[in-house]
Amino acid sequence: MPRQTFALFDPVLAVPAIASAFRKLNPARQWRNPVMLVVYLGSLLTTVLAWRAWGAESEPPAGFIVAIAIWLWFTVLFANFAEALAEGRSKAQAASLRAVHKETWAKKLHEARHGGAVSRVLASDLRQGDVVLVEAQETIPADGEVIEGIASVDESAITGESAPVIRESGGDFSAVTGGTRVLSDWIVVRVSVDPGETFVDRMIAMVESGKRQKTPNEVALNILLVALTVVFLGVVVTLLPFSLFSVAAAGSGTPVSLTVLVALLVCLIPTTIAGLLSAIGVAGMSRMLQAKVIATSGRAVEAAGDVDVLLMDKTGTITLGNRQAAAFLAADGVREDELADAAQLASLADETPEGRSIVVLAKQRFQLRRRDMQALDARLLRFSAHTRMSGVDLGDRQVRKGAADAIRQHVDRLGGNFPQSVARQVDEVARRGSTPLVVADGRRVLGVVELKDIIKGGIRERFAQLRRMGIKTVMVTGDNRVTAAAIAAEAGVDDFLPEATPEAKLALIRQYQAEGHLVAMTGDGVNDAPALAQADVAVAMNSGTQAAKEAGNMVDLDSNPTKLIEVVETGKQMLMTRGALTTFSLANDIAKYFAIVPAALVTTYPQLAALNVMRLSSPASAILSAVIFNAVIIICLIPLALQGVAYRPLGAAQMLRRNLAIYGLGGVVVPFIGIKLIDLVLTLCGLT
């Protein structure tokens, strides 16, 4: 599924956003953002002032008031535009997601028995009580109970246990989980929950509706911005009496005009961050959507940035989903290529990833090619849950491979015996954390094939990166301690939890939280639900069960557990963008003071012109330049707000130093240059 992306100011999105920017001038909508509301009221006030001054001789001149009023309105519109553009992108993203969203099909049985009439239905259309047939290589469409048949099921996506498990009707092993895969045989399942995609649909609908609750950090930041606005309001309001007093005391000049006071106020209050705040939040959700992760709330996305412990399932995240053949260990008196040859023959019928990996290994090691089955007069025996072996019959030659005890029974039945050396090898392989498969030709045991977990390429580097970000990785697996330790060491995780039961996972999360950590985890099984609910950030796989999805606060539509890293990065990016723009916005005030204060007070104390360090051409041009800069900077920063501040996996101190240099020092310097340039342009055009 290609990720759909839009150019930043794609006309498809930008044109409706412009229209929406004007619609958002509705006072009811401005109310939500107190800082921009002040700009809005300032625009109204200057408009009234311009109206009254128009055509009359006034101080300041009507043209100046009109120019200020127009640019104040632009400030409001630019902020509205930023928000509208972010919302537009988010909606477009959700729509494209819905369109390409993959559906699973299910074979619905009209009678609750094997062999009944079957119709193909969407998994989402299944309801509680429906009965479905699931055959080999098919995905179980929903949680349910086996009512007929027996099958080996790959539940590695949920439990982390690579070895397939047997599921059969009746007894303790009858429950199956949606999203798991039947490897052999068939089962008839009665659906036990109302499954389907309703949950994800609800999520997409939520994003589309644009009803966004403010995240906790956004609320806190808003408080800071409001506080700054209040104090600057105090600064500007008291400037009028100060100016009146000074004019009287100095006996010269005119008091600061209302227009200039409004201009000063708008320049001082943090309009840059306030105008883009909402766009940043929407863009964060939208970047998640782009990564095909649906967050149930912005709160969850934000929390992802805080995470410092990542709990990951081994299977699918750290290792490839299935084990692969790594070595042939021949029994005494058997050549290795003989073993490889037999193992390959026995695996020809085995379409599981393990089986295919044996064929591939034999080919790599001994150049053994796939043979023509017809020519060999072979009869293939697929793996079945009954025999727990697979193999091939070539005439009366019976080549079999399977678990050690299954082969032992098989050989015993044929009157052979299971050599001690092979039994020792089996133990040794198991101790290494690998899975032993024993191969027999007739009643002769040839040796052991070692199946190993294969660590995903590049995962080690990923973990090193996380460590630099200050995030601890913990591998969770159903494997025993020995196996887990071996894989953990190879993958480079910081810690691991072997023989993980749902209780153990929950306890581990609680323990980390008690130590003051914020824990993220991925999961998809029913048994993950309690842990997911306990974790601070929980990403449920879309392939997982309904329970898992309800318990998590994000759903990954791709069901790719490595996504968690991306989720964390997006969360951090969202916070960083807010912090960076706040710093930038505040730092800008220094230059704006240098532009406006001498301009506003120079009539009273002409000597204050010394503060005009930018050498702006006239007081009117200075004030107008500051106001224009203040408006234009919002447009200039829209790309940054939507795409987020570039994230690099650095330590906190390094990152802070970097961002302080860019947005703090940059915030001090840029407006000096910007305001001077605008002043030059205004002067060149003869506008002042």
Between residues 76 and 581, which has the closer beta carbon with respect to another protein? 581
Examine residue 604 and tell whether it contacts another protein (CB under 8 A). yes
Residues 6+ apart with CB under 8 A from 104: 122, 123, 139, 141
Q: What minimum distance in Å lies between the beta carbon of 459 and another protein?
A: 20
Return d(Cα 280, Cα 263) in angstroms, integer.
26
Q: What minimum distance in Å lies between the beta carbon of 222 and another protein?
A: 8
Examine residue 19 and tell whether it contacts another protein (CB under 8 A). no
Between residues 115 and 470, which has the closer beta carbon with respect to another protein? 470
Examine residue 230 and tell whether it contacts another protein (CB under 8 A). yes
Pair type for strands 175-176 and 144-154:
antiparallel
Q: What length is written for the chain?
A: 688
CB 326, CB 450: distance < 8 Å = yes
For another protein, the binding residues in 66-125 under the rule CB under 8 A are none
CB 411, CB 422: distance < 8 Å = no
For another protein, the binding residues in 232-251 under the rule CB under 8 A are 232, 234-235, 237-239, 241-246, 249-250
Strand partners, 116: none
Between residues 411 and 519, which has the closer beta carbon with respect to another protein? 519
Examine residue 646 and tell whether it contacts another protein (CB under 8 A). no
Helix (H) / strand (E) element for 448: namely strand 444-455
Between residues 156 and 604, which has the closer beta carbon with respect to another protein? 604
CB 654, CB 102: distance < 8 Å = no
Other CB atoms within 10 A of residue 631 CB:
24
Between residues 183 and 591, which has the closer beta carbon with respect to another protein? 591
Examine residue 578 and tell whether it contacts another protein (CB under 8 A). yes
For another protein, the binding residues in 495-534 under the rule CB under 8 A are 515-518
Residues 6+ apart with CB under 8 A from 99: none
Q: What minimum distance in Å lies between the beta carbon of 605 and another protein?
A: 4
**107, 114, 443, 467: which one binds another protein (CB under 8 A):** 467
Examine residue 472 and tell whether it contacts another protein (CB under 8 A). yes
Examine residue 660 and tell whether it contacts another protein (CB under 8 A). yes
Return d(Cα 514, Cα 322) in angstroms, integer.
34
User: Contact region for another protein (CB under 8 A) — 484-492, 500-508, 521-529, 651-659?
Assistant: 651-659
User: Contact region for another protein (CB under 8 A) — 47-55, 56-64, 327-335, 464-472?
Assistant: 464-472
**80, 93, 582, 621: which one binds another protein (CB under 8 A):** 582
Return d(Cα 681, Cα 679) in angstroms, integer.
5
For another protein, the binding residues in 116-175 under the rule CB under 8 A are none
Residues 6+ apart with CB under 8 A from 367: none
Q: Site size for another protein, by CB under 8 A?
A: 80
Return d(Cα 66, Cα 74) in angstroms, integer.
12
Q: What minimum distance in Å lies between the beta carbon of 593 and another protein?
A: 5
Return d(Cα 445, Cα 439) in angstroms, integer.
6
User: Contact region for another protein (CB under 8 A) — 103-111, 115-123, 553-561, 645-653?
Assistant: 645-653
Pair type for strands 378-381 and 389-394:
antiparallel
Tell which residue, 392, 351, 483, has the closest CA to residue 429: 483
**655, 669, 680, 683: which one binds another protein (CB under 8 A):** 655
For 229-248, b/e burial (b = at least 16 CB within 10 A) is beebeeebeebeeebeebbe
Q: Is 479 a catalytic residue?
A: no
Residue 686: strand, helix, or coil: coil
CA angle 290, 321, 356 (to 5 degrees): 125
Examine residue 669 and tell whether it contacts another protein (CB under 8 A). no
Examine residue 212 and tell whether it contacts another protein (CB under 8 A). no
Of residues 130, 143, 185, 313, which has the active-site annotation? 313
Structure tokens at 329: 């260990």
- Packing angle between helix 563-601 and helix 258-268, nearest 10 degrees? 150
**7, 99, 375, 653: which one binds another protein (CB under 8 A):** 653
User: Contact region for another protein (CB under 8 A) — 59-67, 189-197, 473-481, 575-583?
Assistant: 575-583
CB 289, CB 505: distance < 8 Å = no
Between residues 259 and 527, which has the closer beta carbon with respect to another protein? 259
**268, 283, 345, 541: which one binds another protein (CB under 8 A):** 268
Between residues 188 and 274, which has the closer beta carbon with respect to another protein? 274
**67, 123, 133, 221: which one binds another protein (CB under 8 A):** 221
**593, 632, 666, 683: which one binds another protein (CB under 8 A):** 593
Return d(Cα 455, Cα 314) in angstroms, integer.
9
Between residues 51 and 245, which has the closer beta carbon with respect to another protein? 245
Tell which residue, 288, 327, 287, 281, has the closest CA to residue 450: 327
Examine residue 610 and tell whether it contacts another protein (CB under 8 A). yes
**88, 144, 195, 305: which one binds another protein (CB under 8 A):** 305
Examine residue 406 and tell whether it contacts another protein (CB under 8 A). no
CA-to-CA separations, 506 to 157, 500, 502, 532, 681, in angstroms, rounded: 18, 10, 6, 8, 64
CB 656, CB 579: distance < 8 Å = no
Examine residue 376 and tell whether it contacts another protein (CB under 8 A). no
Residues 6+ apart with CB under 8 A from 320: 353, 453, 454, 456
Examine residue 586 and tell whether it contacts another protein (CB under 8 A). yes
Examine residue 583 and tell whether it contacts another protein (CB under 8 A). yes
Q: What minimum distance in Å lies between the beta carbon of 647 and another protein?
A: 7
Between residues 524 and 589, which has the closer beta carbon with respect to another protein? 589
Between residues 98 and 517, which has the closer beta carbon with respect to another protein? 517
Q: What minimum distance in Å lies between the beta carbon of 31 and another protein?
A: 19
**96, 425, 573, 688: which one binds another protein (CB under 8 A):** 573
Between residues 250 and 677, which has the closer beta carbon with respect to another protein? 250
Give catalytic residues, as residue numbers. 313
